[in-house]
A and B are shown apart, each in its own frame.
Chain A
Amino acid sequence: MSEDKINKMQEKINLIFSDCEVCEVVSQALAEDPEQILKMLLVSSLRGRGGAGFPTSLKWKFARQAPGDRKFVIVNADEGEPGTFKDREILEKVPYKVFAGMAICAHTIGAREGFIYLRGEYNYMRKTLEEQIQDFHNKIAGKLDFVIKIVSGAGAYVCGEETALIESMEGKRGEPRNKPPYPVTAGYLGCPTVVNNVETLVYVTMIMKMGPQHFASLGTQHSRGAKVFSISGDTPIPGIYELELGMSLAEFVELFGDGDTKAVQVGGAGGFCVPRKKFTETIIGFEGVPTGGSMMLFNSTRSMYNVLHNYLDFFCEESCGQCTPCRVGCQQLRKGIEEVKNHSLKPVHLDVLKKMTDTMRYASKCGLGQSVPNSFNSIIDNFREEIIF
């Protein structure tokens, strides 16, 4: 029943995985004035699909305006967020649409070099991708002076953070940089650089093909368009789905749940954990809970203590460890809930920890440390009992 419904919903959208005459789209885009492309992106209201949701038109505009002879386009295919696996699927199924998005970006900002920063575990696709890139180079030969190369990821989650990604590309330890300057003014090798998620670039290609209005007509006022979701956990139908933004979690659970859904973790380990009682009021999108695509469903057999502990293990390990709030904060959170669980500490310690997360949120150097409080606080607030007893 719900599978039919889901299929129908997907067919209605069908942007990411649809067939597309990539060459035509690229030729058409190259004929456009870059300013016109920026305008189209603005009208489409496309926001980055990598998690932070930064308006793509604005990002490209900054890079276009930044002075410099050498500029770069980088595709972030590091896909390290627990519970996301959509970029792999996109690169396998519609790689040319990604290359096309890169070419359009290159044309818009004035770049001649592009990189695909490919998660180390995805190296098995490298050879195929390289052949496809060669073919793409042949196709655009004479139209656009643009070369794409693949860079293998350094294997750490934090390397998905765009400035850490750039550091690692430069052969350094993958540690996030101070911002400003942002990559759009001083990125790879100090040159203006656009870093975009795989999915974002495919949407760019489709916006060029179908016009920005079509995209903007999908979704809600604050979350235009559609999004590819990686759905996992306690669901009978895990997988990758392209859905319109702006759906409520109640609707979502109706479609994907197993009938016993107690909570949904939206946006991966750094996202929000929404309990059943808030499903109806919670919108999936920038006005509600934003997500880079990860949707994890938990049913009533799951211990939220274990879920949280698991996330904290992940953060303790995957924080780059350079800045105090994140390095120490993550360890304090994990040890703190352990001690509360085994009754060495009174439950009020959870409040000490919650207060401490303010510092993680406001003072961490990058999005990793800044987002740890999301899952911690939402789980503590909604499942306090499960943490204590």
Chain B
Amino acid sequence: MKKIKIQIDNREVEVDEGTTILKAAEKLNIHIPTLCHHEDLCIAGNCRVCVVEVEGANLLSASCATPVMEGMKIHTNSMKVRNTRRTILDMLLSEHAGECTSCTRSGNCELQTLAGYYASPDNALLDISIKSKPDTSSPSITKDDSKCIRCQRCVRTCEEIQKVGALSMSGKGEHAKVSTFFELPLNTVICTNCGQCVTRCPTGALVERSYIDEVWDALSNPDVHTVVQTAPAVRVGLGEALGHDPGGRFTGKMVSALRNLGFDAVFDTNFTADLTIIEEGSELLARLTNVLTGDKSAQLPMFTSCSPGWIKFIEHRWPHLLGHLSTCKSPQQMFGPLAKTRYPEATGVNPQKICSISIMPCTAKKFEADRPEMRASGFKDVDYVLTTRELAKMIKQAGIDFDALEESECDSMLGKHTGAAVIFGATGGVMEAAIRTVYELVTGRQVPFENLNITPVRGMEGIREATLKIEGTVEKYRFLEGVEVKVAIAHGLINADKLMEAVNGGNAPWHFIEVMACPGGCLSGGGQPIPTSPDIRAARANAIYEEDASLLLRKSHENPEITKLYEEFLVDGPLGHTSHHLLHTHYTPRP
């Protein structure tokens, strides 16, 4: 690659041809402020906060969008740049109806931070903000246009990462805004509720719909028995929202914090992640058996069904492929009915008094909990869903010194888990967990990978494929002898869509496909701490695999509480009648 030599703030640097000024400056550890720029997205160059001065040019250049040219002399902090930056911040603030003090993003708002550094102490520009009512129609995401700075990160996210296009720009000039289709309420459009836009919004224009107040009410009501579950990705994200670097694991402290907040029973979604593997693995084997023994009605490849953003996506875009979706509920929704059937049965708590709360790295889970079919227990199975961010906020509100907490363990019965459940939080994790169990069921032996680490399905490639040859089968699965099981993994809906194209075209070689709506999987879900970036996702993934490796039990079928559950409660076994009623679901075509 051709090298280009330039000068930034009187210091020389050599970079590859095509590098932007912004990236070149980073190499010199010169920080240039940005707003519309995001590592995950294409270049927009529309906020203009990052402008710099190039000697010889009258116009300033947007450093995020301008490639370096040989001999360029750049100034990132000249008088002209400083004046312009200040004016741009003043301008953005003049159209921003930010009620900073009460905003969800206060303290973690990119506009607020830059305003603190660069805006005028006495902004002479007039207030031109439009105080519109936020769209609170969605159970997952609240959209407040009056806080929008039109950076279009959300639009690019929805289009480039998710291929959903629920948000786009409408109007021009003073009327330019981020809109849904015909300004329809968010809950009536093709939004998948994934919340990837929320984690990339620099301000409070897009935030999760919060249920903190409802949960506090439940916690303070002596007549209500609160049961909480936490998803695997929460424990590797929570630290970031409480001031730690990405990549920390806080399982034990998180459990203690939940007890301190006053939850009556602290359980773990990981428990039902293990349960998902048993049910879903059995379903996969049943489908394989049917197909290989000539039953034409069984549909392969089978798709995983744990990601509610993905579910809504396929319901909208590929409704005729719904038969491929595993009928298994997500771990959250398997936990829900158990918390209101198995748990009260065993403890004598009145199920009517149970409030079931889940802490999720996800905004789509809020929508999922509201789906009408999620009432298998006879009640709403999961009453409230909080994001990782909301939990962090409650911990702060309660004045808990998180770092000083002792570590503790979840309550038993619905709390034990294996490493296989932990890795659900990363893309490829469900696949890996499923293979660990299914392979062993079929061959009676452990998967042929060192330390159970099925590395071919790990990583951050948007689409990954792997093949596993089945050899040495036990009697029951002899028909699988020599079969090469092919699997594929996609994360980010744009990648899922590519796999669906192939399945739809009839040229999909796979038996089993894992899809996670969010890039990186749940660890970078729409409910996780903000910001997100490739580095942050890698750090969180690392923490997840560390957690898995640190556990003694790492295969779902070895979870003793799961065994007990089947012995005592789901007595007709995986895919049995009770399972079917409580743990499986159906889908709604939304063409």
Contacts and interface: CB of A to CB of B under 8 A. Distances in A.
B45 A178 contact: yes
Find the residue from B80, B95, B126 having the highest chain A CB count within 10 A: B126
B150 interface: yes
Interface stretch (A135-143, A247-255, A330-338): A330-338
B171 A321 contact: yes
Interface residues of B, number: 38
B173 A316 contact: yes
A363 B66 contact: no
A358 B46 contact: no
A293 to B, nearest CB: 24
A113 interface: no
Contacts of B66: 178, 180
A173 B165 CA distance: 14
A194 interface: no
B65 A178 contact: yes
Contacts of B193: none
A178 B92 contact: no
A370 interface: yes
A319 B216 CA distance: 47
Interface in B490-534: none
Contact of B173 (A318, A356, A359): A318
Given A178-B45, A349-B124, A363-B51, A327 B176 contact: yes
B88 A316 contact: no
A317 B173 contact: yes
A155 to B, nearest CB: 10
Contact of A331 (B44, B60, B95): B95
Per DSSP, are chain B's interface residues mostly helix, strand or loop, or mixed?
loop
Contact of A332 (B43, B62, B125, B149): B125
A365 B62 contact: yes
A321 B173 contact: yes
Contact of B80 (A173, A331, A362, A370): A362
Given A178-B43, A323-B48, A363-B51, A331 B174 contact: yes
A173 B46 CA distance: 14
A158 interface: yes
B45 A156 contact: no
B474 interface: no
Interface in A335-352: 335-336, 339, 349, 352
A375 interface: no
B171 A324 contact: no
A166 to B, nearest CB: 16
Nearest to A338: B126
B46 A365 contact: yes
A361 B87 CA distance: 12
Contacts of A364: 48
A328 B128 contact: yes
Interface residues of A, number: 38
A317 B174 contact: yes
A329 interface: yes
Contacts of A83: none
B176 A321 contact: yes
Nearest to B92: A324
B476 interface: no
A363 B88 contact: yes
Contacts of B346: none
B146 to A, nearest CB: 14
B156 to A, nearest CB: 12
Interface in A151-197: 156, 158, 173, 175, 178, 180
B106 interface: no
A339 B128 CA distance: 12
B67 interface: yes
Nearest to B65: A178
A330 B88 contact: no
A330 B125 CA distance: 12
A332 B128 contact: yes
B152 interface: yes
A115 interface: no
A324 B62 contact: no
A114 interface: no
B527 to A, nearest CB: 29
B91 A324 contact: yes
A325 B125 CA distance: 12
A322 interface: yes
Contacts of A356: 87, 91, 125
A27 to B, nearest CB: 41
A327 B336 CA distance: 48
Contacts of A358: 83-84, 87
A56 B51 CA distance: 29
B78 to A, nearest CB: 11
Contact of A359 (B46, B87, B124, B171): B87
Interface string B45-59: 111110100000011
Contacts of A332: 91, 94, 125-126, 128
B296 interface: no
Contacts of A315: 173
Given A325-B48, A331-B95, A339-B126, A318 B87 contact: no
Given A322-B152, A324-B149, A339-B126, 15 more contacts: A178-B66, A180-B67, A315-B173, A317-B172, A319-B173, A319-B174, A323-B45, A330-B174, A358-B87, A359-B83, A359-B84, A359-B88, A362-B51, A362-B60, A363-B88
30 contacts: A158-B172, A178-B62, A180-B67, A316-B174, A317-B173, A317-B174, A320-B172, A320-B176, A321-B169, A321-B172, A322-B176, A324-B46, A324-B47, A324-B49, A324-B88, A324-B150, A325-B91, A331-B95, A356-B87, A356-B125, A358-B83, A358-B84, A359-B87, A362-B58, A362-B60, A362-B80, A363-B51, A363-B84, A363-B88, A365-B62
Interface of A: 156, 158, 173, 175, 178, 180, 315-325, 327-332, 335-336, 339, 349, 352, 355-356, 358-359, 361-365, 370
4 closest pairs, A vs B, by CB? A321-B176, A328-B91, A178-B65, A359-B87
